[in-house]
């Protein structure tokens, strides 16, 4: 049996490889105590390992193991129940509770991802191949939605570049387009006109190749629940949430900027870049502050939104660009 199959069955968990949901909460209590001592970052890493050995994971989904990543932030992760019940996944409905409610019949397996377009070696991958393509990492990332809420999610996966580089993009490849699945019999809102289906998104090639851009296969030490984009979604933590397409079936290299679903619907509201930027407001929502779910209640003071969602290491990608114009 392959190691990935054993891991999916919860066997052979490396001591430092998985962080059960309950452990995220306990770990944060200690880290808050160490805040400012310079020990917090160290403790954050080593505790992941210690806690894992002591506490078995206890969720309903198959386990998916990832090694702790230095790209993780130290913010307190959002409880699993909030991350998996307050979602935007319009194929299942437009209410935040709809995806968890309506995604039960979705088939996340079997799955085929196709990588095509301006590349020398287009290829297709099944789920097993996707999960064994590169070492799985657990990365705790911030997620900021343009609607003004944010979460912190421990994703499991690897850099998107791992997938892209194997296709050997040609010199003509300037952008990458992502297409989400259309599963007519399980996604009730594909019959609606709320979006021009299928859901598509895009990145410039250098954005997609940035190590932070992630191909995500799991969260909280388990495979992705359907409502969060099973079995494969993208996570681009310095951009608003809608840039991260869920349940992706096709990745295509293009020479010209691909059309994206939200940009097509309302180009003045949703630009192609959509970097988290507290100085450029959406016409209907201020981007200056945000409400971290779930602890920042409606009456709690909001927290300040950070440029690039705090991921300063991507600033160089936009050197010389007017981010008011390229919003
Ligand atoms: N992908 C698809 N296919 N369909 C969608 O409706 N919504 C986007 C993005 N990816 C969406 C999608 C939006 S608006 C957000 S904020 C994030 O998914 C939400 O991800 P989450 O539910 O895991 O927090």
Question: CB–CB of 94/189 below 8 Å?
Answer: yes
The residues, any chain, with a CB within 8 Å of residue 105's CB and separated by 6 or more, are 185, 186
Pocket test for ligand 1, best of 82, 89, 98 (most atoms within 8 A of CB): 89
Distance between CA atoms of 301 and 294, rounded to whole angstroms? Answer: 13
CA of 246 to the centre of ligand 1 (A): 6
Chain centroid to Cα 252, Å, comes to 19
- The number of the ligand 1 atom at minimal distance from the alpha carbon of 240 is 16
**Ligand 1 proximity of 224 Cβ (cutoff 6 Å):** no
Q: Which residue's alpha carbon is at the smallest distance from atom 22 of ligand 1?
A: 87
Look up the CATH superfamily of 2-318. Answer: Oxidoreductase, molybdopterin-binding domain (3.90.420.10)
CB atoms within 10 A of CB 238: 28
Ligand 1 center to 296 CA (angstroms): 21
pTM of the predicted structure, to 2 decimals: 0.85
The answer to whether residues 245 and 234 touch, using CB atoms and an 8 Å cutoff, is yes
What is the pLDDT tens value at each position of the chain, 327 positions in all?
Answer: 444 444 344 333 333 334 455 555 444 444 433 333 333 333 343 333 333 322 233 458 999 999 999 999 999 999 999 999 999 999 999 999 999 999 999 999 999 999 999 999 999 999 999 999 999 999 999 999 999 999 999 999 999 999 999 999 999 999 999 999 999 999 999 999 999 999 999 999 999 999 999 999 999 999 999 999 999 999 999 999 999 999 999 999 999 999 999 999 999 999 999 999 999 999 999 999 999 998 766 677 789 999 999 999 999 999 999 999 999
Whether the CB of 180 sits within 6 Å of ligand 1:
yes
Which atom of ligand 1 lies closest to the CA of 248?
3
Answer whether 262 contacts ligand 1 (Cβ < 6 A). Answer: no
Q: Give me 54's structure tokens.
A: 């002591």
Rg (CA), the chain: 19
Candidates 247, 249, 104, 86; CA nearest to 186 is: 104
- Does the beta carbon of 89 sit less than 6 angstroms from any atom of ligand 1? yes
């Amino acid at each position: 049996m392959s190691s990935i199959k054993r891991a999916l069955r919860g066997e052979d968990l490396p001591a430092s490889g998985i962080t059960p949901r309950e452990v995220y909460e306990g770990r944060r209590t200690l880290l808050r105590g160490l805040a400012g001592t310079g020990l917090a970052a160290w403790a954050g890493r080593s505790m992941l390992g210690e806690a894992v050995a002591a506490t078995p994971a206890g969720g309903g989904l198959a386990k998916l193991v990832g090694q702790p990543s230095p790209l993780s932030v130290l913010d307190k992760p959002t409880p699993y129940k909030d991350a998996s019940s307050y979602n935007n996944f319009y194929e299942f409905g437009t209410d935040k509770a709809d995806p968890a409610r309506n995604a039960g019949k979705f088939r996340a397996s079997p799955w085929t991802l196709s990588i095509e377009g301006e590349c020398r070696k287009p290829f297709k991958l099944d789920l097993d191949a996707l999960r064994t393509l590169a070492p799985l990492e657990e990365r705790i990332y911030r997620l900021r939605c343009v609607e003004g809420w944010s979460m912190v999610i421990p994703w499991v996966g690897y850099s998107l570049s791992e997938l892209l580089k194997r296709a050997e993009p040609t010199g003509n490849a300037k952008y990458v387009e992502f297409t989400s699945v259309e599963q007519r019999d399980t996604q009730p809102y594909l019959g609606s006109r709320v979006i021009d289906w299928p859901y598509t998104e895009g990145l410039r090639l250098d954005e997609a190749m940035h190590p932070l851009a992630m191909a995500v296969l799991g969260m909280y030490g388990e495979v992705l629940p359907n409502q969060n984009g099973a079995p494969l979604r993208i996570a681009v933590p310095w951009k608003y949430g809608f840039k991260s397409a869920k349940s992706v079936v096709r990745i295509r290299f293009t020479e010209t900027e691909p059309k994206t679903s939200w940009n097509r619907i309302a180009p003045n509201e949703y630009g192609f870049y959509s970097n988290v930027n507290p100085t450029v407001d959406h016409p209907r929502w201020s981007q200056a502050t945000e409400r971290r779910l779930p602890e920042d209640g409606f009456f709690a003071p909001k927290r300040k939104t950070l440029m690039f969602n705090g991921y300063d290491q991507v600033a160089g990608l936009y050197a010389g660009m007017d981010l008011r114009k390229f919003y």
